[in-house]
Structure 1
């Protein structure tokens, strides 16, 4: 599988796997179907996916525990990415929480549940407007220096926030909502491309909302021998070499469909047609 070298250190498969879809809407509770969830995690690795993205807020903590029980000890090269700093209070209800003591606690819990001695990629889930970023990331810098975290990323940030964070510690990834029709983070993506920072778009295929039969996108997909989902993922991969989509699914068939997008080559004309097909 194609790869992106994170921080000139860790190869990431160009398509990762986002785990949140394994649990109920609102990211609350354990996996809906544990047997199927285990099969999907193992199949992702079989397909060459080595980036598994999760967060302490998923469950909360349920998915980290499940991943550790299912995959540890991890095969060589597997990169577990987790997040903290967004406290889930109830289904579909969460708020930023960036107090240093809380982040330290969550890192320790992530290590325990994921059965890791070091988190390969830890990401600040949200910046807490009530806590100076220097305080939040200062604690993470200390944990990184202590060997508990290998690399650090951010989620849902703008360029100014990335630059502020980079003055505190190295930032190797950004995880923002981005897909073919939701592109408000173009400036962030361009910044990441210029600085070789991995850009991990979440919600990369808009949860299938663009896959309507008979649509212009479906017609292009048919002509190219692909599916609308594969067109959307391939468009992302062509958009920038630092993009690593993390589509989530609870279906083995959809997982395999997502990974097959890597085999699709689009011409500049194809890319223009795809963008025009979903333009407002």
Structure 2
């Protein structure tokens, strides 16, 4: 079992040779509207990052595509030189266009460029974790990831990347990646209402591989459900707190990276994720996504 106890909800998990808090922080919302441009409140964004680390969070997720390059620059300004315990996960495989789209960028030359920009903007010589992002903005798509993933494996051999993962992928692509090189995590869209990866999560847990759900609270369309509202009312809690707590109780290999641009909301998320759900609560919530 990789999990153990810590002051933050959920304890910790081993990502490769590092131990991280299962409750982490996703930096995407620190960029401007639709993840483009600088934040409206730069000092507020820096304060959120510093508050996350002060709260004990050791797992921060980012991408050079956020902004683009905006969240990486904020992380560097707020937290560099980084604490030894801080683990920064990033991803490659997509760019941004002038319309705010997410065009794919997975050719070897694209990936080398993104890795170089990530190293530069974060101010490090080696990246803790790089997730190979597949699919598109609508979700995973079938197809081989071999060429792209092998490029990251080459960079790992060269000492530029410590650990590898995959993101926005099908179960078949997870198996394909694992046939090429070890991975430490899978990052896919998953929450109470979208349970397509249930079997995959259980298989990964058995093999000691983390599952990191993005949009754990529904993303740009927050989760809404009568059952979620009912359980929250019974517990005198916010529905989003119940959704986070359910994820932590769902499986010990699930790592949370909820994002926010508010220090108050960050504290609410941490407190809410620590809710204890009864068997009856869980049974009622389980019906939402099934």
Provide the TM-score with structure 2 as the length reference.
0.88
Which of the residues 167, 189, 206 maps onto 1:155?
Answer: 167
Q: 2:199 aligns with which of 187, 195, 200?
A: 187
3-state SS in 1 of match to 2:35: coil
Quick check: 1:210 aligned with 2:218?
no
Q: CA deviation at 1:231?
A: 0.7
Find the residue that maps to 2:230 and give its secondary structure: helix
Q: Give 1:50's aligned residue.
A: 58
Tell me if 1:229 matches 2:240: yes
Q: Distance between the aligned counterparts of 1:180 and 1:75, measured in 2?
A: 33
After superposition, the Cα gap between the structure-2 partners of 1:132 and 1:230, relative to the gap in structure 1 and judged at 3 Å, is closer
For structure 1, the 5+ residue unaligned runs are none
Unaligned runs of 5+ in 2: 1-7
Q: Which residue of 2 aligns with 1:4?
A: 13
Q: Does the CA-based 8 Å contact 2:52-2:266 persist in structure 1?
A: yes
| Residue among 50, 53, 60 paired with 2:68 | 60
Aligned partners of 1:178, 1:279: CA distance in 2, in Å? 10
Q: Deviations over 1:202-255 (max 9, x none)?
A: 11011473368xx54333223224321111011001111100111111121211
Secondary structure at 1:35 match in 2: helix
Offset, 1:130: 11
Contact conserved, 1:85 with 1:127, CA < 8 A, in 2?
A: no
> d(CA) in 2 for partners of 1:63 and 1:205?
20
Matched, 1:117 2:129: no
Give the conservation status (yes or no) of the 8 Å contact 1:199–1:244. Answer: yes
For 1:263, the equivalent position in structure 2 comes to 274
**Cα deviations by residue, 1:116-170 (Å, 9 ceiling, x for unpaired):** 1111111112259899633212221111111111101111111110111112111
Q: Deviations 1:172-219 (Å, cap 9, x if unpaired)?
A: 11110111111222232223222221111011011473368xx54333
**Runs of 4+ deviating beyond 3 Å:** 127-132
1:158·1:188 contact (CA, 8 Å) conserved in 2? no
**Structure 1 stretch displaced more, 155-164 or 63-72:** 63-72
- Aligned residues, how many? 276
Q: Per-residue deviation at 1:102?
A: 1.5
| Residue 98 of structure 1, aligned match among 100, 106, 112 | 106
In 1, distance between residues paired with 2:78 and 2:88?
Answer: 13
C-alpha distance in 2 between matches for 1:107 and 1:99 = 12
The CA RMSD measured in Å over matched residues stands at 2.2
Aligned partner of residue 97 in structure 2, secondary structure? strand
SS in 1 for 2:286: helix
Deviation at residue 37 of structure 1 after TM alignment: 0.3
SS at match of 2:34: coil
Distance in 1 of aligned mates of 2:198 and 2:228:
22
* Structure 2 residue 36 is the aligned partner of structure 1 residue 23: no
Residue 77 of structure 2 is matched in structure 1 by 69
Structure 2: how far apart are the matches of 1:91 and 1:69? 27
2:116 corresponds to: 108
Structure 1 pair 279–164 and aligned structure 2 pair: CA distance change class (3 A) = closer
Flag the 1:130–1:217 CA change in 2: closer, same or farther, 3 A.
closer
Say yes or no: does 1:248 pair with 2:244: no
